[in-house]
Structure formats: C-alpha cells, structure tokens
Structure 1
Amino acid sequence: MLARVLKPLGCSLARKVCKNHVHHARTLALTAHRLVHSEHNEDQRTTVTLLNKEMGDLISVDGVSQFGFHLNTGVVVVGPMAVFPRTVLGWNVGSHTDITPASLSLFSIMEPRLDCLVIGTGDRGTTVSRDVIAFLRQKRIGFEILPTEQAAATFNFMNLERRCVAGAFIPPVDVRLLDRDLEQLEKVRRRELIDSS
C-alpha cells in the first residue's frame, strides 16, 4: 500500500526543471531570518542570520512553485512531496482531497514517533477531511495543517530546532509573487528577448 502512496524521485527529474517552464514558474522564496539582539555588542546592533544556510546536513525548503519545491541541497522536487530532516520522497496525491488516512500511513509507523507532521494543503482556503484529523489524533501525531507556503516555513523552523518533524506538501496553484520575484522575472524576460534577437 505504501508503494502506491510514495514514489522514489529519479535523479534526472529531481535535479533539473525543463528550461521551457522556467519563465512560467512563479516561485516564492522561503528564506527564513533570525534577528538576534546582543547585549554584548558595544554598538547595540541587531544581526540577521539566514537560517537556510545554518541547516548543515538538514533539508530545508528554499522555494515553492506551482510545479514543486526547491530544496537547500540544490534538488528540485516536481509535484507533491513527503520531506523528512534528511530524506525526500515523492508523495502520490493530486490535491488536498486526496489526503486520506491511507496517504498518511507512512507517518504513523515511524520510529521515533513524530513530534509534528506539517501538512501543506496547497492554496489558502484548502484543508483536510475530519477523517484525517481523527486519524492523526488516534495515532497521537502532533500536526499543523496550513497552506503550503506557510507549512514549508514551519517545517524549516522545526527542523532547524532539531525536532522530529516531517512534512507532506502539495504545490499551490496560486503562488504570491514578492517584489524581488517580480524583478527577477523581469530580468529573465529581458535576457530571453536579448538572446532571441
């Protein structure tokens, strides 16, 4: 049953996204920041630390697009994924309506038991059925059910805290573009126009 729910990622598929789709992909960067104010600084400055660079050998989700996920390891996962602190698997679900107790069965048999399962349901306004919530409570698995963009950031923070966490994420259809993303998209379009001339 688990073989139908989870599928291994092929290296060629996971490492590259087709060039034709690059200008269509809308990506939200998920770089987390930690602000630290130190009493020991003489000039009382606040420092910013990029948490994604502190992850070391742990996996973090650096970006979310309509096609999948960009990881800090340089891997691009196409489609839904199940992610753990050091492992990523393809997750065979189509939408939030396909999230069932059967599709989450892997997370219930893990040892040690998960502190938290972060479920990214895709777009805002989507959620899971009551059966799923009852299943997770019966198995005594802590859970967070959020839109995928927020779920990925939550997974990153929990993973950095070295908690026993896993994520189950569906790519959103509607990804909000930030100002810097719009600037980057415009640069790509300009380069394409110059290259085609």
Structure 2
Amino acid sequence: MSTPRSNRAQGLTNMLASEVPPPVQVLSVGSGGISLADGLVLRGPAVFLEGRVWLWDVPVSKSRTGEASWEGWDQDCFKLFEVVVPRPEILIVGTGEKMSLFPPVLRKYLNGLGIQVDAMDTRNACSTYNLLAEEGRHVAAAVLPPNPAAWRRSQ
C-alpha cells in the first residue's frame, strides 16, 4: 500500500504516489558514455538502484579482444547489494562495448543474496533495465560504459 504524499501549500494529497522514486532512465549509450534522461552523462562505471545513480569504483580494463576484463574484481565490488533493503530481484550487468561472460564466483555470490544476474553488453543492458523498470520490476543495473574511465577520487 502506498503512502499518500501531501502538498500543504496547495492543500492537495496524491493518493497514487508511492515512496519509491521514479527509475533512472537511460536515453542512449555511445562512445562518449551513458546519457540519462535528466541530462547527466556517465563516462565511468555506475549503478542504477532505487531511482538513484551511484558512482561505482571498480577496476576498468579491457582484454585484447575488447571485452571487459574481470581481473581485480571480487565480492567487494558488489557489497552495496548486501546492505540495500529491499534487494533488487534482478541485477542487469552491462559489460561495456562487448558482451563478456560474468565470473561464476560473482554470480554465485549475488545469487546467494537472492539476486538474479543477467550480463550483456551495456547498450542492451540499459535497454533491458529501462524496460524492466518501466514494468515496475525491482531491478538494478551495474554498468560499464563502452569506453569506461575510472572515477577520480578527490581528497
């Protein structure tokens, strides 16, 4: 059951509004990054979860074939999903410009948290995420742009 939102200034109550924020919507994916509906362009890895965009500090490198390299990836890269409540039922992983097989050990870890994992190239991952989010599914996306750049940490 949703909780009504009140606008005291106008004296109106929206009986259909819920506490769940609207999903992040991806407009396009290209060599310049991932463009969102609100105008934000992501050039580094990100997680879309509960209507928010999280910068995702993960190793970004490609193999010689142009696929995502999973070297340096471990469970710590997905710790966010241990603490969110409720957890998404599906995590769409965007592996960059090309489809790359998701490491079985990480899939097993996420499945152990009750999260189904689907990995695909980032363009298809963003399309799938948009579709599932519009259907109202409890979905998250963890995406690497086609030409990912590591996020710079500020001091």
TM-score, structure 1 as length reference = 0.55
Query: What is the CA-CA distance between 1:58 and the residue it aligns to?
Result: 2.8
Match of 2:55 in 1: 90
The alignment yields a C-alpha RMSD, in angstroms, of 1.8
Q: Secondary structure at the match of 1:128?
A: coil
Distance 1:112 1:78, change over 3 A: same
Identity value in percent: 28
CA distance in 1, matches of 2:90, 2:74: 17
Cα distance in 2 for residues equivalent to 1:148 and 1:168: 9
Deviation at 1:75, TM superposition (A): 1.3
Q: Is 2:127 the partner of 1:153?
A: yes
Matched residue, 1:129: 103
1:120 aligned to 91, 94, 97, which one? 94
Structure 1 segments of 4 or more deviating over 3 A? none
Unaligned stretches of 5+ in structure 1? 1-55, 174-197
In the alignment, residue 27 of structure 2 is paired with which amino acid?
D
More helix as a share of residues: 1
Tell which structure's C-alpha radius of gyration is larger. Answer: 1
Between the aligned partners of 2:85 and 2:142, the Cα distance in structure 1 is 17
Give the number of aligned pairs.
118
Task: Report the TM-score, using the length of structure 2 for normalisation.
Answer: 0.69
Q: Unaligned stretches of 5+ in structure 2?
A: 1-20, 62-67, 148-155
**Cα distance between partner residues in 2 of 1:125 and 1:153:** 14
Aligned ranges 1:38-53 → 2 under 5 Å: none
Q: CA deviation at 1:91?
A: 0.9
CA contact (8 A) 2:44 2:145 kept: yes
Indicate whether 1:60 and 2:35 are aligned.
no
